[in-house]
Amino acid sequence: MRMGAGRPKQLLAIGGRSLLQRSVAVCDRHPAVGELVVVLHATLLGEAETLIGRTRCALRVVAGGARRQDSVRAGVLAVTASADVVLIHDAARPFANEALIDRVIAAAASTGAAIPAVGARDTVKRRDLATGCVGESVPRAEIWMAQTPQAFRRDVLAVIGPLSAGQREATDESMLAEWAGIPVMIVEGDERNVKITTPDDLTAARRRDTPAPRVGTGYDLHRLVEGRPLMLAGVHVPFERGPLGHSDGDVLCHSLTDALLGAAGAGDIGKHFPNTDPAWKGAPGLDLLQRAVAIVAAAGYTPSSADISIILEQPKLLPFIQAMRERVAAALGVDVSAVSIKGKTNEGVDAVGRGEAIAAHAVAVLTARGDA
């Protein structure tokens, strides 16, 4: 099964950038590359600036043809005459790297034509088309899977260019050189330089490109005193005592704020909202939590789930848990099912167990922002 995405696969995104943009970018940032030619379907030429984005190198965009070799020929014809070596890269391979390009350019400059390739790992069988049975086993050392970018010296392109206009169809550019009797050097490819062809390929590429989730923990504790409201996630829990603190003493929000900031490597609640600053006197914990979400967003992360345990002897929190979950979920921008809040006691142990204090432990999970 091919991509079946309803639009060219090169425009599908991985981590917020299309395959096309990623493939252009890897060539654009290579120090040996001086100009870029991008070949697009004729219907996309009007969107070229948006589809490609800004580039360091001079950029030309041309319309492609019916076959791959027709599109490549159109692109090569648009390259300036001063180019000594021309790289031809498939936009469906978004993970090429500088070292790979270095090897291909050096080999083509020396020999005239070069391709990157990786050796076969499995035993290779040639299938008899008439019977469907194994015709013969092919030595693995002779089998290499071609990749791009492929590179050709200008004089070689002058020879193979006319062949691309013929009826024979080439599945890659090196086939044209083979037909012309021009040796093509194989250089070491890269297993990571995969081609995105099927939906499974795209899923695997997105998974590989997605950074691991970031996990942070938070803790907060406040003494309980007369005359203070007991606020948890902005929910007022009726009780004769509440937490003593510079802000509203919302241990749920404070512990979760610390967990978010810690997961993003962005310090802690005291760094961003110090109790020496009058601006935060009496500040609602839910407000600080929302500000922490903005801080981690600026660092490139978004909350995906949270788990908070509140340790308190009295009163019982069960009647208020759902309202707390809903407010925390709204502040984090997640579904309420991604928020867990539990009420615990300390079994009469220490100040919390004696009812003199309230504490909370929180765990937050962040994921990198970008396309899923």
Kindly state the DSSP code that residue 141 receives in the 8-state scheme: G
Q: What is the pLDDT of residue 4?
A: 56
Q: Tens digits of per-residue pLDDT, 182-230?
A: 999 999 999 999 999 999 999 998 888 777 899 999 999 999 999 999 9
Mark whether 79 and 205 lie in a shared domain.
yes
Q: Are 85 and 50 in contact (CB under 8 A)?
A: no
Mark whether 122 and 222 lie in a shared domain.
no
Q: Tens digits of per-residue pLDDT, 322-349?
A: 999 999 999 999 999 999 999 999 999 9
Mark whether 226 and 179 lie in a shared domain.
no
- Per the domain annotation, does 3 fall within a domain? no
- Per the domain annotation, does 336 fall within a domain? yes
Q: Tens digits of per-residue pLDDT, 29-47?
A: 999 999 999 999 999 999 9
- Per the domain annotation, does 223 fall within a domain? yes
Q: How many domains does the chain have?
A: 2
- Spatial neighbors of 155 by CB under 8 A, at least 6 apart, are 112
- Omega prior to 149 cis, within 30 of 0: yes
pTM (2 d.p.):
0.64
> What amino acid occupies position 181?
G
Of 14-18, 65-69, 281-285, the poorest mean pLDDT is in 14-18
- Per the domain annotation, does 348 fall within a domain? yes
Q: Tens digits of per-residue pLDDT, 254-270?
A: 999 999 999 999 999 99
Last-in-domain residue among 185, 209, 233: 209
Q: How far, in Å, CA of 188 to CA of 353, rounded?
A: 66
Residue with tokens 């995405």: 5
- Per the domain annotation, does 346 fall within a domain? yes
CATH number at residue 221: 3.30.1330.50
What is the separation of C-alpha 111 from the centre of its chain, rounded to a whole number of angstroms? 37
Last-in-domain residue among 191, 209, 227: 209
Residue 372 has pLDDT above 50, yes or no: no
CATH number at residue 54: 3.90.550.10
DSSP for 40-101 reads E-GGGGGGHHHHH---SSEEEEEE--SSHHHHHHHHHHTS-TT-SEEEE--TT-TT--HHHH
Average pLDDT, the chain: 93
> What amino acid occupies position 152?
F
Last-in-domain residue among 157, 185, 209: 209
